Structure 1
Amino acid sequence: MAPITEVEGRRLALSNLEKVLYPATGFTKAEVLHYYATVADVLLPHLRERPVSFLRYPDGPDGQVFFTKNVPPGTPDWVTTAEVPRTEGPARMVLVQDLPSLMWAANLVTEFHTHQWLIGAPGQADRIVFDLDPGAPATVVHCCEVALWLRERLAADGIEAYVKTSGSKGLHLLAAVRGASSERVSEYAKALAVEAEKAMPRLVLHRMTRSLRPGKVFVDWSQNAARKTTAAPYTLRARAEPLVSAPVTWDEVEECRAPERMALRAPDIGPRVRDYGDLLAPLLDPRHAGELP
């Protein structure tokens, strides 16, 4: 039987603790749970009030990987859920509001993905996101160059940008916004992606066409659509190693000369949080939200 653990008064059965989920490093299920417990204080504020989609990989990234938006079977009744509007009809999704819910979800072995809006105002964006995805031989170093251009372009419109690793090959650029629908934010993000391509035609691509991707950075603006989600800050990713989608400083972006500099793993995050706090905390403060022009 799975050991029973009590988390803030909730009883959880935590299973397969010795199972190796990241074979490249021997990182186990117990270490995954420990990681999420360690970063809960900075992760939970970015999950609260946002319907969560799960990318599950219970047998590690080399096993079956599946994406689920609906409330998983067997979800405890104390886990908060909410009805979310969709074009094909409303669905019920999980809200990870507290530590017990986080540890329950982490026990499913999951990446956390969230929309760019809160459950109280579906389709009313409070964030804008750009997913910078390099096509080999381009790397995250080239993404850093594009991120710096986008940072300055957003600043020209009075919008302050923050950056995190994607936990894969690229970067995510985020900013807090107010007073705009997801559709309007998508239009604005696309316009900036097109502008970036015109400014850096040899480096930037705003279209998803795979044949055009090699050697360029695809500026994916489409994740601003109301139905789309993006990997949440501090989530582990289903990769060969326990890579994290982790905030970085703009100094680190400016100084990035090698891809390894942006490969942040679970053991790196605790010390970084102690040194920097949550670098994305301004996204949670309405006073830092900009208005689209």
Structure 2
Amino acid sequence: MTTMTQPVDIEGRRLELSNLDKILYPEHGFTKGELIDYYARVAPVLLPHVRDRPLTLKRYPDGVEGKSFFEKNVSTHAPDWVRTVPIETPESSHSRKSADFALVQDLSTLVWAANLASIELHIPQWTVGPRGERRNPDLLVFDLDPGAPATIVDCCEVALWLRDELTDDGLTAYPKTSGSKGLQLYAPVQTRSDDRTNDYAKRVAEKLERRHPRRVVSRMAKKLRVGKVLIDWSQNNPKKTTVAPYSLRARSAPTVSTPVTWSEVEACENPAELGFVADEVLDRVDEHGDLFESLLTRARPSL
């Protein structure tokens, strides 16, 4: 089978884009070319949120209905201008205990990643310094996951409770959809240890479970989630990653993990109201700019 390629120059760097007509989302006819185009167009608001954060790619070479795999270690076939950083991976099932993660610092690297059919981009809540040294977490995240028949509408109610708790502690929360079934809350912070955000998030989640035992669960067992919203605090573990803002998701439609306003969260009465696909997100960026821009602030409260 012949691979069709198209050479492009991006920021003075040459790339060979391949199989642009390949359909990655069969139900919507969304192609690899459209995926690359989306990431190129959303780059101005996406790149600041992934910069200096080691990237885990979730690749779907045969589309969302085919097999997928997480890629942490950058391929030896990557261009030499793709910046990488070695990160320990002691939990890896392979003999190698570290991996060379890509740092997506610019448009050309983002397009390179998209050309690998990297539908989803996942990042940690910490950054690396100029010499590749790992910094302490600078983001606090809560991943709200509804257990059927609960939906994102239920997540919105829990998000409002969470927002109030964080406000009482001097933190400011910003919501985004997961691009799948749930909602995620972020708060910019500064910390002095790796475990501070994880410990704090667990305490808050357990507190809300005690206060709303019929609506909220903080424990991971799936049998406990039915009809409730799991507040997944464990995404703050330094070894874990969360889907990046503006990342596409591998659902039946090309949905996006989309920053939203608190007004939208408060008004949500139907899950469809907080479901956005690629074109809609680009329109939202044109209208609202980056609703997550405040996460990039240098003035971060101590946690």
Bin the TM-score by the shorter chain: over 0.9
CA distances 1:137-163 after superposition (whole Å, capped 9, x unpaired): 000000000111101100100000001
Q: Does 1:236 align with 2:255?
A: no
CA distance in 1: counterparts of 2:47 and 2:201, whole angstroms: 26
What's the offset of the Cα at 1:122? 2.0
Partner of 2:94: none
Q: Does 1:161 align with 2:170?
A: no
1:117 to 126, 142, 165: 126
User: More deviation in 14-23 or 82-91?
Assistant: 82-91
Partner of 2:194: 182
CA distance in 2: counterparts of 1:181 and 1:24, whole angstroms: 45
Partner of 1:219: 231
Which secondary structure does the structure 2 equivalent of 1:173 belong to?
A: strand
CA distances 1:172-211 after superposition (whole Å, capped 9, x unpaired): 1101010232311100000000011112111100011011
Query: Normalized against structure 2, the TM-score is what?
Result: 0.94
Partner of 2:284: 272
- Tell me if the contact between 2:74 and 2:101 (Cα under 8 Å) persists in the aligned partners: yes
- Tell me if the contact between 2:175 and 2:260 (Cα under 8 Å) persists in the aligned partners: yes
Which secondary structure does the structure 1 equivalent of 2:46 belong to?
A: helix
What's the offset of the Cα at 1:16? 0.8
CA distance in 1: counterparts of 2:208 and 2:182, whole angstroms: 16
CA distance in 1: counterparts of 2:140 and 2:9, whole angstroms: 37
1:1-293 map, 5 Å? 1-87=4-90, 89-110=97-118, 111-120=120-129, 122=134, 124-287=136-299, 289-292=300-303
- Tell me if the contact between 1:126 and 1:177 (Cα under 8 Å) persists in the aligned partners: yes
- Tell me if the contact between 2:128 and 2:134 (Cα under 8 Å) persists in the aligned partners: yes
Unaligned runs of 5+ residues in structure 2 are 92-96
Which secondary structure does the structure 2 equivalent of 1:51 belong to?
A: coil
CA distance in 2: counterparts of 1:150 and 1:73, whole angstroms: 43
Q: How many residues of Structure 1 are paired with residues of Structure 2 in the alignment? A: 291
What's the offset of the Cα at 1:7? 0.7
CA distance in 2: counterparts of 1:188 and 1:19, whole angstroms: 44
Aligned-pair identity in percent equals 54
Query: Normalized against structure 1, the TM-score is what?
Result: 0.97
Unaligned runs of 5+ residues in structure 1 are none
Letter paired with 1:95? L
Which secondary structure does the structure 2 equivalent of 1:264 belong to?
A: coil
